[in-house]
């Protein structure tokens, strides 16, 4: 069955997801946090209660999305287009959520279809909303039915130097740690599989690059305080190779910042970023 544009508005079955302190610690190390971020990488440091990186939301959120309603597409021709998170409270080190997802948009780009989803998660311990995740998938070869092309507006970055720039260098084995948070796609670990996709070596998970970017925003604009991190949204624009350096550039206006991430060659790997904070 081809892509089904009538699926917009469909809601999935509520799903539950739990996590432990160890899951949150492993994620933090997987996105490059280390000895200068012990509140996120340890649970037993004196006078330092464990906190959870806000971008951990992409690991535990996103459940309940009705993928069975949108039709079929070739997963080998699908790439992650955009990702967003919104935090209503701090993520606890241990917890359980119930998530309900829905299809928010299906667009015809001619040569591809874009599928958009969002999922809202409730903290079962408190009964209150904890987070919302939104994402889009770009499915090559699935467009052409004459549907709505979707929004086309783009962020215009200020014509001045960024207010802040932070550079992190990923490890050559970064993907081997990050994959333990759940994404075991061999594209990120098996050289022979990566070669089938046209890559000289395995590439880094896009959401790992996103996590590095989120750390830069958190540490620079929120003073490392997760309670001040409110929302983050951006577009994936180019793969990252483990070992690459990532520079996050930020333009701040009040409690909002525009951002993008480039590699050591100046190529933009994350674009169209909007971040809100307290």
* 3-class SS of residue 247: strand
Q: Degrees (nearest 5) of the Cα angle 128, 133, 137?
A: 155
Q: Active-site residue among 30, 63, 188, 205?
A: 188
Nearest to residue 24, comparing CAs of 59, 62, 66, 52?
Answer: 52
Of 183, 224, 225, 243, the active-site residue reads 183
Query: Is 203 annotated as catalytic?
Result: yes
Known catalytic residue at 127: no
Relative orientation angle of helices 206-221 and 21-30, to the nearest 10 degrees: 90
Radius of gyration from C-alpha coordinates of the chain: 19
Q: Compute how many other C-beta atoms are within 10 angstroms of the C-beta atom of residue 202.
A: 23
Choose, from 203, 211, 244, 273, the residue flagged as catalytic. Answer: 203
Kind and range of the H or E element at 68?
Answer: none
**Sign of the torsion angle spanned by Cα atoms 17, 18, 24, 26:** negative
* Token pair in block for residue 253: 């206006």
Give the Cα separation of 185 and 165 in Å (integer): 31
Candidate list 32, 63, 81, 206, residue with the active-site label: 206
List residues bridging with 98 in a β-sheet: 16, 122
Specify whether 188 is catalytic.
Answer: yes
Place of tokens 């535990």: 60
Residues forming the active site: 183, 188, 203, 206
């Amino acid at each position: 069955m081809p892509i089904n544009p009538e699926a917009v508005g469909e809601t999935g079955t509520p799903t539950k997801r739990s996590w432990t302190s160890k899951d949150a610690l492993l994620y933090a190390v997987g996105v490059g946090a280390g000895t200068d971020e012990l509140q996120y990488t340890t649970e037993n440091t004196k006078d330092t209660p464990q906190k959870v990186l806000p971008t951990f939301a992409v690991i535990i959120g996103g459940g309940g999305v009705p993928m069975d309603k949108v039709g079929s597409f070739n997963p080998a021709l699908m790439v992650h287009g955009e990702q967003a998170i919104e935090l209503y409270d701090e993520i606890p080190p241990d917890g359980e959520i119930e998530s309900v997802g829905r299809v928010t948009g299906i667009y015809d780009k001619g040569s591809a279809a874009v599928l958009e989803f969002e999922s809202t998660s409730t903290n079962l311990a408190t009964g209150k909303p904890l987070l919302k995740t939104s994402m889009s998938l770009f499915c090559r070869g699935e467009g052409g039915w004459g549907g709505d092309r979707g929004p086309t507006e783009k962020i215009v970055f200020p014509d001045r130097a960024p207010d802040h720039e932070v550079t992190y260098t990923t490890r050559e084995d970064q993907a081997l740690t990050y994959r333990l948070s759940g994404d075991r796609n061999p594209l990120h670990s098996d050289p022979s599989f990566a070669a089938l996709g046209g890559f000289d070596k395995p590439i880094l998970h896009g959401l790992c690059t996103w996590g590095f970017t989120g750390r830069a925003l958190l540490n620079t604009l929120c003073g490392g305080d997760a309670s001040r991190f409110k929302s983050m949204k951006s577009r994936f624009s180019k793969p990252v190779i483990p070992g690459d350096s990532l520079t996050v550039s930020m333009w701040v206006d009040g409690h909002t910042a525009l951002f993008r991430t480039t590699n050591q060659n100046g190529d933009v790997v994350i674009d169209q970023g909007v971040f809100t904070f307290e």
